[in-house]
Amino acid sequence: MPQDGNIAPAGEEFVAPPPPRQPRTHTSPTIIQMLKGLSLASKLQRNKKIEAKNDNRAAKSLDHEQDPEAHPEPRSETASLITIDPKDLNRLKIPAIVATFREWIYPSLSVFLADEDVKEKVKRKSPPVLVLAAPDDKQTLEEARVLKRRCMDGSSHVARVVGTFMPVDFMNSLFKTELHVVVPLPFFLNKNLCVLIDEASTLPTIKSNPLPGESKGIHILDIDKLSTRFRKELSITCSQWTEAALNMYRFQQA
């Protein structure tokens, strides 16, 4: 008689359920906790090896299905990848960061980062939708003026606290340029971002090649000429790199 209360219907043979899948990576709570504590570099290195072995297992399974006699042993179960924290995934979207771990980026992670990059570019290319309020006969002249011009008062002003980060605006031409060429990290230093805004009308530009699906190019920032003023990629100090990397991260989020 089947154990654990499992009774087969009359006239049918009882088939025992398959044994539960045994994990190959997350084998115990202790191992899981240790995997969570690994550095990003260690997680990437281990995941690259795990994915390569999983690909090999998949190839063996295909060979077994196509020719069971020549390949009598089916593949073993695949191993799970180590989870990458969302914060680390966001850091890997920054070109300067991903370049540091380039040799350990495995195929599935590379596809994920490419898909996220496409989503961000499509989002930036889509023009914002401006919803205008319907005219109201009861509005005063002052209310209509504020609504039309989006005037602001002092209610949104905040006192600056020394040592806290002050948000930096990114000019629209910077987003357009990034769609065509890679913007170097020194461009995202606070002082250089201010230059891009203050001298927007006099900055050197060049005509870009048309993007796929477009008939003509647009004028973008001349990266080569501006780089002589903003400094080259590897010429900034460690503190400047930290400042620029943070601004670039906010720029990618925008």
Distance CA 77, CA 34 (A): 22
Residue 185 lies in a domain: yes
Residue 24 lies in a domain: no
Residue 27 lies in a domain: no
- Among the candidates 64, 93, 120, a domain finishes at 120
180-216 residue pLDDT tens: 888 888 888 888 888 888 888 888 888 888 877 777 8
Q: What is the pTM of this model?
A: 0.39
Report the number of distinct structural domains present in the chain: 2
Residue 150 lies in a domain: no
Residue 78 lies in a domain: yes
Residue 75 lies in a domain: yes
114-170 residue pLDDT tens: 888 888 877 777 665 555 555 555 666 666 666 655 555 666 565 655 555 556 677
Q: Which domain holds residue 181?
A: 158-253
Q: Are 235 and 168 contained in the same domain?
A: yes
**What b/e sequence results for 12-32 when a residue is b if at least 16 CB atoms lie within 10 Å of its CB, and e otherwise?**
eeeeeeeeeeeeebeeeeeee
